[in-house]
Structure 1
């Protein structure tokens, strides 16, 4: 269908009067980009529906006129998944916010896609429940974006990725059809589990409007330890011991390499609770039901790890304030933009046994290519997810393509994945074949073509529609 921009904008203006639509110079600056450091792009318009039906109507209007659409949430994504493309209408879900229902009997929460994650966490807590999904952008990111990227976060080792907490989903298809799949049952095996197509598809197959989330019992106690270790081999020993000794209590296992530790304690100014320096640093968290029982159990396990020679030094939480202060060290990466300036951020997955070998190889390859390169390594090692921040201190702006080529070539050499939890978007799309086979890519393209034959939803992201003449990733 040929592009009919003027008629599309006129139809949108009629359907979305006033502040529900911005065009031209009135488009807010925040909608010109996400957090991927890609150059700003001005969309034709920003439409801001406040209901699922409004989202469907906006999609229908754009589809009828052949105008592409890009869904936008909190705009905290690092891969360019919500970045505008030239000639698109940005579909901002910021007004589609709110918690519609909390069902204590079913332990579910029904939410609108534009609801910030932190709002959902607090609502669950007030109702006596727990939402395990947690990430640094919790105050800004929206649940629709979390679902669209299948976000992981800090507690995947115990609770799994976002898709593990989504029971039901409502979404607008590329032609404007609104599909109500707001299932609240844990067991529902009636045919295809359609929601799985849309979780992690980054708005390329449909736009999520509402979701039913599974809540968990609120932990009765939380214990944590920030440990210094003498080697990466001891990290693997500690992880194995934690899985065996703490079992389902183990809720997080975060590892930080010395380069990360040096930046957060030296340049960011985070306070180290440990004496001296260590070869590796581990933050582990355990959630229990009863402090009188699980607190001593945690301490006994830590003492056993000391006696086994796995831990060289450790700070043990004595309060929830201590737990938060330990997490503050791990979350200090949020300040990297301030202290390091523009940089490239990577989110990869690797076999745990090869992570330290990978870090050594990647660091060396970056230095060989750029003598002033700085790279730091940290992540959710308990679930095989490693984060990298890299830049060339000889340049004001990081050479993104050059750094990405080195990092992703190394990931391919080590048999890893180019994306563990941040999605593909625009930035990782050229490297998708490093992780997915030709047959997998072809199947993705067939699914995209079946649901979005015009290629209008988030065009150019993740995978192309064969009808556009682009079949490569």
Structure 2
């Protein structure tokens, strides 16, 4: 595909697009909002040349064609809650924001699907499903801000992957605008549809580098009628693995979350964040187990007896069982308070990695020692979803600003160990620009070459979110 020779200046083209889409749809220069200059990463904000805010797929196509004629790089934006600069612009770029493309278009009760616009916040989708008598299981700490299009673009994970899978497993159909402005509409509702390539998987997890997602068909599930939660203390990681096995076999499909917190995490939240520990404190590892079922009269006693059996076996040092929704939410606050680490710990660097479940504790011990030995004053804490192979950690040197944190040295130690142990440098947050230097630690040269081939086929002029991932 060859670029047509530009016949107008970019400002003229953007002005013409504003005349077509409306003044509220095209913000230029000093009218560009600060929110469109960065995602939630701590990187330096960069103001785009313009922000285009379409209301439908045709508006997105018009925006793309304008950028192509002016040869302007462009980046799609949703809720901007990413942590890897995947949706962040560079100077001279145009941001195509889907913030005005919000709303639930349809809930199909028979097929148990929901069709939504890509800019719709995740929490709005959760509430709409709940009000309709269904359940949408994707859940993230940024639920009130993140947009479903961004969730798809990064193949978001979250708290319930162990039961429902990543975002990829929750999508049936897509509408997407290609880098040449072509609108592909396949709002499929069928569970079984093997008519050729399943093209939606090209775009899910591609971080906005292959196309702009504009509408989505999501899978819904029956609403849970019972939720049980327990916060457990265990003596060591071997006991954690045994508990995970017991939860999978004893709770079966009821198991919906398995969150593990190492002693250093527990120490931070109880001594610095002021969390009152619901179970005995010490050198234990801590696990939040959640189960969801369909009959409270049967599920709650089953969950209680399962825990009592584990206590009798001596597997648990201590355990607290939630007796109400408020207590369940309190248990989750213990795990979700990591979102407040900026206030609790001060400036720090967050990491999101994937590892074999059996080797996570080995990684924690080796990584913590390597950071402390290799970087003067470096501290780190560890926690994660574990049941789905996802470990999170934060590291920092006290007294330093975010810009002063020795991130390059931290990256080299952490990602070097990830590569040695056969893991992934990104379990659920994506690559963006902040991790692309380390992509080769998790993907082979042949895999990266194929990624480049796909990118070149769909975006030969490299105008759609260029320089991201690889």
Smaller-chain TM-score range? Answer: over 0.9
217-226 or 8-17, which deviates more: 8-17
The whole-number CA distance in structure 2 between the counterparts of 1:106 and 1:114 is 23
TM-score by length of 1: 0.96
Which residue is equivalent to 2:398? 393
Which residue is equivalent to 1:428? 435
* Residue 442 of structure 1: how far off its partner (Å): 0.4
* Residue 13 of structure 1: how far off its partner (Å): 2.5
The whole-number CA distance in structure 2 between the counterparts of 1:400 and 1:60 is 38
Match of 2:128 among 120, 123, 128: 123
* Residue 65 of structure 1: how far off its partner (Å): 2.1
* Residue 70 of structure 1: how far off its partner (Å): 0.7
Which residue is equivalent to 1:289? 294
2:90 equivalent to 1:85 = yes
2:346 equivalent to 1:341 = yes
Which residue is equivalent to 2:455? 448
The whole-number CA distance in structure 2 between the counterparts of 1:81 and 1:399 is 22
Which residue is equivalent to 2:137? 132
2:84 equivalent to 1:74 = no
Unaligned runs of 5+ in 1: 464-473
2:67 equivalent to 1:96 = no
- Cα distance per residue 1:178-220 (max 9 Å; x no partner): 1101001111110000000000001000000000000000011
2:127 equivalent to 1:110 = no
Which residue is equivalent to 1:437? 444
* Closer, same or farther: CA 103–396 of 1 in aligned 2, 3 Å: same
* Closer, same or farther: CA 157–125 of 1 in aligned 2, 3 Å: same
The whole-number CA distance in structure 2 between the counterparts of 1:458 and 1:254 is 34
The whole-number CA distance in structure 1 between the counterparts of 2:39 and 2:17 is 23
* Residue 19 of structure 1: how far off its partner (Å): 1.7
Structure 1 contact 7–65 (Cα < 8 Å) conserved:
no
- Give secondary structure in 2 for the equivalent of 1:210: strand
The whole-number CA distance in structure 2 between the counterparts of 1:402 and 1:218 is 46
Which residue is equivalent to 1:302? 307
The whole-number CA distance in structure 2 between the counterparts of 1:78 and 1:179 is 28
Structure 2 contact 375–409 (Cα < 8 Å) conserved:
no
Residues 141-290 of structure 1: matches in 2 within 5 Å?
A: 141-290=146-295
Unaligned runs of 5+ in 2: none
- Cα distance per residue 1:8-64 (max 9 Å; x no partner): 323332333212111111111111111111111010001111112111211121122
The whole-number CA distance in structure 1 between the counterparts of 2:439 and 2:147 is 25
Which residue is equivalent to 1:458? 465
5-14 or 252-261, which deviates more: 5-14
Structure 1 contact 271–329 (Cα < 8 Å) conserved:
no
* Residue 300 of structure 1: how far off its partner (Å): 1.1
Structure 1 contact 11–61 (Cα < 8 Å) conserved:
no
Match of 2:16 among 11, 17, 22: 11
389-398 or 166-175, which deviates more: 389-398
* Residue 407 of structure 1: how far off its partner (Å): 1.1
Which residue is equivalent to 2:414? 407
2:13 equivalent to 1:24 = no
2:361 equivalent to 1:356 = yes
- Cα distance per residue 1:164-188 (max 9 Å; x no partner): 0100000000011111010011111
- Cα distance per residue 1:131-163 (max 9 Å; x no partner): 000010000000000000000000000000001
* Closer, same or farther: CA 389–58 of 1 in aligned 2, 3 Å: same
- Give secondary structure in 1 for the equivalent of 2:272: helix
* Residue 391 of structure 1: how far off its partner (Å): 1.1
* Residue 276 of structure 1: how far off its partner (Å): 2.9
Structure 2 contact 79–147 (Cα < 8 Å) conserved:
yes
- Cα distance per residue 1:279-324 (max 9 Å; x no partner): 2000010011101111111111111111222111001011111111
Which residue is equivalent to 1:46? 51
Structure 1 contact 79–424 (Cα < 8 Å) conserved:
yes
* Residue 374 of structure 1: how far off its partner (Å): 1.5
2:383 equivalent to 1:378 = yes
- Give secondary structure in 2 for the equivalent of 1:61: helix
- Give secondary structure in 2 for the equivalent of 1:381: coil
Runs of 4+ aligned structure 1 residues displaced above 6 Å come to none
TM-score by length of 2: 0.97
The whole-number CA distance in structure 2 between the counterparts of 1:65 and 1:12 is 12
265-274 or 119-128, which deviates more: 265-274
Q: CA RMSD in A?
A: 1.2
